[in-house]
Amino acid sequence: MNEKVSINVPKEFSYDECMVYINRCQLECMHRVSNGELYKLISLDNQPVLLKIGFDGNKLSVIFLNGHFNKGIKGKAIKYVQYMFDFGTNLSEFYESIDDEVLKPLLDKYYGLRIFKINHLFEALCWSVIGQQINLKFAYTLKKRFVEKYGEGLNFDGKDYWLFPKPDAIADLDIDDLRVLQFTQRKAEYIIGLAKCFVDGIIKEEELRESNNYGYIVDKLTAIRGIGKWSADYTIMKCFPINCAFPIADVGIHNALKNILKLDKKPSIAEIEAMAKQWKGWESYAAFYLWRSLYD
């Protein structure tokens, strides 16, 4: 019998709303959704741990599918899941602080939606690079090829699950190794350079997490070739417990605002900056709710 643990959820939490976002692309290779349950392979204490996460209307349930694990690993798995669903954020503060015509309607509509985090910095940065300036569907295709070629996999019950490649598996690749996966020359350079930053200790995830300082992390990340302001902000909102990061150049945000405001064309950066003044401290959640509106 598989072991199971339950996790309390915060007051403002909608599993269904989160799952709309989590399940938005069938090409996603880092997790699988089936019957409203989320299957995800993670690595804890260097062991692959396959989780099945569900919701019973009251608590999250986490089932360990691929074996028995000690108390330490179970504790880490719980922390991992809590972080992934961003349970650390007090959403009521967000809801209470927003009172403008653009965002307010979305708060009611998507009540309980929480940012779905990418728990690992290298993965978040790679994903931001892969997603630069190409359509999202192709970005997922590229990520899938990358993960299935260089990541560690686990086959369970006839299905494959994947861990994201580690920097040391990427740092010594040739550009052409990624070109054959249809990465552009530029993306291939960025990804390999990024891996080198981790291997060489130029980027230390632990150090950035300890600082937990937006300005400091932006400076560190944008110093990496291929990581501009958009990628840094995207990465921070998806990977750190910081809610003020706002990828203002994001075309998804532009299109969401265009739809909501019924504009003929996408709003300018200056216009978005003006709106964002009302979202101070909660820009990441503003961005996330705007993205969610694209999937209605």
Partner DNA sequence: GCCCAGGTGTCTG
Partner DNA sequence: CAGACACATGGG
Report if residue 287 touches DNA, rule: CB under 7 A: yes
Evaluate the CA torsion angle 70, 73, 75, 78 in order and state its sign.
negative
Q: Is 263 in the site for DNA (CB under 7 A)?
A: no
Segment contacting DNA by CB under 7 A, of 11-19, 41-49, 210-218, 243-251: 243-251
Binding to DNA by CB under 7 A, coded x per residue (else -) over 187-226, reads: -----------------------------------x-xxx
Q: Report how far residue 169's alpha carbon sits from residue 117's, in angstroms, rounded to the nearest whole number.
A: 23
Cα 216 to Cα 51: distance, rounded to the nearest angstrom: 34
For the record, the structure tokens of 111 come out as: 């009540």
Return the SS3 of 268.
coil
User: Is residue 79 within 8 Å of 88, Cβ to Cβ?
Assistant: no
Burial of 177 (0-12, 13-18, 19+ CB in 10 A): middle
- By beta-carbon proximity to DNA, the closer residue of 81 and 245 is 245
141 interacts with DNA by CB under 7 A: yes
Q: Between helices 15-22 and 283-293, what is the axis angle to 10°?
A: 70
Among 160, 168, 250, 296, which one carries the catalytic annotation?
A: 250
Decide: is 44 part of the binding site for DNA (CB under 7 A): no
3-state secondary structure of 76: helix
The helix/strand/coil state of 282 is coil
User: Of 121, 88, 109, 281, whose CA–CA distance to 202 is shortest?
Assistant: 121
**Does residue 123 bind DNA (CB under 7 A)?**
no
- Identify whether the C-beta of residue 248 lies closer than 8 Å to the C-beta of residue 273: yes
Q: Which is nearer to DNA, 216 or 295 (CB)?
A: 295
Q: Residue from 136, 242, 244, 260 that binds DNA (CB under 7 A)? A: 136
Q: How many CB atoms lie within 10 A of CB 133?
A: 10
Q: According to the binding rule CB under 7 A, does residue 139 interact with DNA?
A: yes
In this chain, which stretch among 48-56, 71-79, 97-105, 229-237 interacts with DNA, using CB under 7 A? 229-237
Question: Is 135 a binder of DNA (CB under 7 A)?
Answer: yes
Q: Taking CB under 7 A as the rule, does residue 182 contact DNA?
A: yes
Cβ pair 44, 73 in contact under 8 A:
yes
Candidate ranges 47-55, 128-136, 155-163, 210-218; the one touching DNA (CB under 7 A): 128-136
Q: Which is nearer to DNA, 251 or 274 (CB)?
A: 251
> Minimum Å distance from CB 254 to DNA?
7
* Active-site annotation holds for 233: no
* Binding interface with DNA (CB under 7 A): 128, 131-139, 141, 179, 182, 184-186, 222, 224-232, 234, 247, 249-252, 255, 287, 291
Active site residues: 250
